[in-house]
Structure 1
């Protein structure tokens, strides 16, 4: 007599405590993953804002003007001509990362909603 073959409605109502714990753990994992993704999106949006501000500031400057760039904790002297394309490339990469993380957030959120629906879980507001 295996547990997989016995799937009556009376068994569905009488879930063992371990099942409830597993559901709680899974719900917490979904919640933690969503929080982590949202946090990373927030960090990247701040970086994107900083890049856009620097690009906006540097764009009208002469290309041969001296500027400084922090690379791995080392301040390096460059020109606007060298730095501006790198900043633009970084900005595009950050934008793509935000888009990917936003899609991942939506997918995880949909999976969590489906998990809640299937398992009849309601999250209480704290």
Structure 2
């Protein structure tokens, strides 16, 4: 019989499992950061269009692309929808930022717990 002191505890991950988990954390953080960047670009576009359309008369004709179909509307119809979309995008960015911070702290704690250092390339 082998001694129990020579065995690792059953719940301790080996080096390869730690690498996989670290890569998963890193991948999730990159995906969240990428989505935040994408949404920030959309937010900038919405703000630019809202700024451009705000001084226009409400009856003025404008066009809006909805699911790949260009539809004719008025500024009065489009502007509130744009503002609602902008607010939703802003809210989503806030949620993703909080999720990123939480995941980053979780990753940092994981690194400390398992004495992991990420080598810079």
State whether TM-score is above 0.5. yes
| 1:105 CA drift (Å) | 0.1
Count matched residues. Answer: 116
Structure 2 counterpart of 1:36, from 27, 31, 41:
31
Distance across 2 between alignment mates of 1:76 and 1:42: 28
Structure 2 residues without counterparts, runs of 5 or longer: none
Question: Paired residue for 1:89?
Answer: 84
| 1:20 CA drift (Å) | 0.2
SS in 2 for 1:76: strand
Q: CA RMSD in A?
A: 1.9
SS in 1 for 2:73: strand
CA deviation string 1:88-121 (max 9, x = no partner): 0000000000000000000000000000000000
1:104 correspondence with 2:95: no
| 1:11 CA drift (Å) | 5.8
Q: Where does 1:51-62 land on structure 2 (aligned, <5 Å)? A: 51-62=46-57
Distance across 1 between alignment mates of 2:119 and 2:73: 54
Distance across 2 between alignment mates of 1:94 and 1:48: 6
